[in-house]
Structure 1
Amino acid sequence: MARKKRGIPVHGWLNIDKPVGMSSAQVVGAVKRITNAQKAGHAGTLDPFATGILPIALGEATKTVGYIVSDVKDYRFTARWGQATITDDIEGTVVEQSEIRPDLQLIQDTIPSFQGTIRQRPPAYSAIKIDGKRAYKLAREGVDVDLPERDVEIYNLSLVRLIDSDQATFEVTCGKGTYIRSLARDFARKLGTVAHLTELRRTRVGPFLENDAISLDKLEKLWQCPAEFEALLPITTALDDIPAVAITETQAVRFRHGNDVATPNLADGIVCAMDGNSPIGIAKVEDERLFPIRVFNI
C-alpha cells in the first residue's frame, strides 16, 4: 500500500522575501508549515546573512525549478574595504587587513573589468559539492578547500553610493552560478585592498521581482484563506520564456501517460504542453513529435 502524503496538494510559486538569519532550507520549512503543502523547494540558495527574493515552488511547480535557477538575477550588496574574512562575508572571522581605501575614481575605473564574462573562484564556504560533501562543511572541518575557477556572466555592475571611506554599495545583474562574495573579494583585490560583504540582498530572480515579494509573516496572515490567496503564482511562472503548445484532449490523455504525440509543423525545442488553459507538462518537440519531459500531476 502506498504511503499517504502528508499535507495538502498545493501547486504554484511563492515569491518570498527571505529574512536575515534564516537558511534557504529553513524558509522552505516555514512555508511548508504555513501552507501545509505536500511538497516544496526553493530556486537558488541565499546565504543566511542575505535577504531578498527566494522563489519557493509548491507541489508540481517543483518540476520547473531548473528553469528558474538558470535565470538572470539582480543583487544589491555592500562591501567593507580593508578586511577579508574567512567566509568573504560578515559572518566569518577576519583573516587579512589592509590600510588601503579606494577612492571614487579608482572604483569607477575598475568596474568595466568586472563586466561581461569573467573568471571566478567560488568561496570555500559555499554549497558546492566536493566528492559528495558540501564545501562549507569541509572548510569547517579544517580541510583546505580549493575550488576551480569558472566562467560567470556579469551583465551589469554599478556603484550605488560610497557610504564612507570603508564601505560602498553596488548593484549587479548576473547569470547562473555567480557568487557575489567572490565578486566583492576579487574586485577589492583589483583595487589593491581586501574586502568582505556586510550586506547582500537579491532583488530579482527572472520573473520574480522585489516589489511583488511577501514576507513569511505576511504569508502566514494571508494564508488563513487559501482560496482567496492572490500571491500564489501559477506553475507556468517559471516557464515565461518557453513557448506554450496547445494539444487536443485525446493527445493530453496520451501525454499524461508519458506517451509522445504528433505535432505537425512545430519547430524542434522545449515547450509547455497545454490542455486548454491548463499546463500539463514540459515537453521536447523533435521531428514533429511531442515527447514528455516532466508531466504535471494536477
Structure 2
Amino acid sequence: MNAPRTRVQRRPVHGVLLLDKPIGLSSNQALQKAKWLLRADKAGHTGTLDPLATGVLPLCFGAATKFSQLHLDADKRYVATARLGERTSTADAEGEVVERRHVDVKPTDLQRVTAQFSGPISQLPPMHSALKKDGKALYEYAREGIEVERAPRDVVVHALSVQAEPDFDAMPTIRIDARVSKGTYIRTLGEDIGNALGCGAHLRSLRRIETGDFSAEACISLETLEAMDEQERLAQLMPVEALVANHETVTLEAEDAGRFLSGLRRRGPWPDMPHVAVFGHTPKAFLGTAHVKGGELIPVRLLSPVEIQQILQQFNATSARTTS
C-alpha cells in the first residue's frame, strides 16, 4: 500500500525564474515541478517549448504573472539540427518517417535557402502544435487523424544561419541558428528549408538560447534547483521588474505612489512614453506599468499593496540569508 502523499503548504512567491527546460518534459510539467519546489501558490510560463526542445523558459511567479505577456511577445533565438532526406509526421524526431528522398545539397544551396527564409516569411502552423481551433488544440485533432484547415501566419526571421554539420557526408544534417519574431515555428522552418532544398527534412534537436534579453547562460536546471534548500531556491528568483527592464522608468514619492496604485493618473514633467515601469521612492518598490501621454502618467497594470509588501518581505528575507 502506498504511503499518503504529503501535501505541500503553498505560499506567496514573487519573481522570475530562468529555467533551462530539460528534454522530455512539457513546459507545463517543468513549470509544475519548479512551482512545487518553491511551494508557490501562483505561477505561469512565457512561451511554450515542445518536450523535444530544451533551453530558456522564463517562469513567472505571483505578481510576475501579470507581466508575462511582455515576454510572450519577445523575439527568440533558437539553435536546431535538421536531418535532410527524411520527412516525419510531426516535422521532428518524435514522428514517424513518412517520406525518404535522395539528398544532393551543395554549399550554394544552403546560401540560397538562408536568403530565401530570412526576413518576413509566411508559415502554415503545424498540426502538431498547441494552436487552438474551436477551443481544441491542433495536436488533439492530429492524434485523431484529423487534418484541420489552418490560415498561414506572417512572421519575421530577423537573422538566420544554415550550415552543414561536420559529418554531413555520413549523415546529411544541417545546423539552423535563427532569431525570430513571436509565433515562429522552428519545426516548420526546418521542414520548409528541407522542402526548398528538394529533399525534405525534420528536426533532430531544438534549443532556445534567448528570449528577449534572457539567455541560456543565466538559466538554472531543475536538478540544480532541486539540490538547493528553500532559501537558496528563492534566491534564484529575479525581481518582477526584470520583465520590464527595457521600459522607461518613473519614480514617485509616497503620496503620488499611493494614488497611482489606486488607479489614478499622475501629472508630471514627463515626455510621452509608450512603456513605463513605475517605482515608489520610499521604500524602493516596483508598482506596475504605465504610459505617459500629454504629461499624464496613466496606469496600465498594477501590483496590489499586498503583493508589494510580500515582495519586500521576500527580498529582505533572502538578503538577510545571503549576507549572514
Tell me the TM-score range normalised by the shorter chain: over 0.9
Aligned to 1:3: none
Q: Does 1:195 align with 2:201?
A: yes
Contact 2:121 2:157 in 1 (8 A): yes
Aligned to 1:289: 296
Superposition deviation, residue 161 in structure 1: 4.0
Q: Does 1:154 align with 2:157?
A: yes
Aligned to 1:111: 114
Q: Deviations over 1:37-81 (max 9, x none)?
A: 111111110000111110101110111111111112111100011
Residue in structure 2 matching 1:134, options 133, 137, 156? 137
Q: Does 1:257 align with 2:262?
A: yes
- TM-score scaled by length of structure 1: 0.93
| CA–CA separation in structure 2 for the residues paired with 1:157 and 1:242 | 28
* Gap runs ≥5 in structure 2: 1-8, 309-324
Aligned AA (1:155):
H
Contact 2:38 2:234 in 1 (8 A): no
Residue in structure 1 matching 2:215, options 189, 209, 214? 209
- Count of matched residue positions in the alignment of Structure 1 and Structure 2: 292
Q: Does 1:19 align with 2:25?
A: no
Q: Find the structure with the greater CA-based Rg.
A: 2
| RMSD, matched Cα | 1.6
Residues 213 and 116 of structure 1: CA distance in aligned 2, closer, same or farther (over 3 Å): same
Aligned to 2:11: 8
Aligned to 2:238: 233
Percent identity between matched residues is 37
Residue in structure 2 matching 1:278, options 266, 285, 301? 285
Aligned AA (2:288):
G
Which runs of structure 2 are paired with 1:49-88 in the superposition (5 Å)? 49-88=52-91
Residue in structure 2 matching 1:36, options 27, 35, 39? 39
Aligned AA (1:75):
Y
Aligned AA (1:195):
A
- TM-score scaled by length of structure 2: 0.86
Q: Does 1:97 align with 2:135?
A: no
Superposition deviation, residue 266 in structure 1: 2.9
Q: SS state of the match for residue 230, structure 2?
A: coil
Contact 1:268 1:287 in 2 (8 A): no
| CA–CA separation in structure 1 for the residues paired with 2:35 and 2:270 | 43
| CA–CA separation in structure 2 for the residues paired with 1:134 and 1:290 | 40
Superposition deviation, residue 139 in structure 1: 1.4
Superposition deviation, residue 153 in structure 1: 0.8
Aligned to 2:315: none
Residue in structure 1 matching 2:168, options 156, 164, 169? 164
| CA–CA separation in structure 1 for the residues paired with 2:32 and 2:234 | 19
Q: Deviations over 1:93-112 (max 9, x none)?
A: 11222123423331123211
Q: SS state of the match for residue 10, structure 2?
A: coil
Superposition deviation, residue 223 in structure 1: 4.2
Q: SS state of the match for residue 183, structure 1?
A: helix
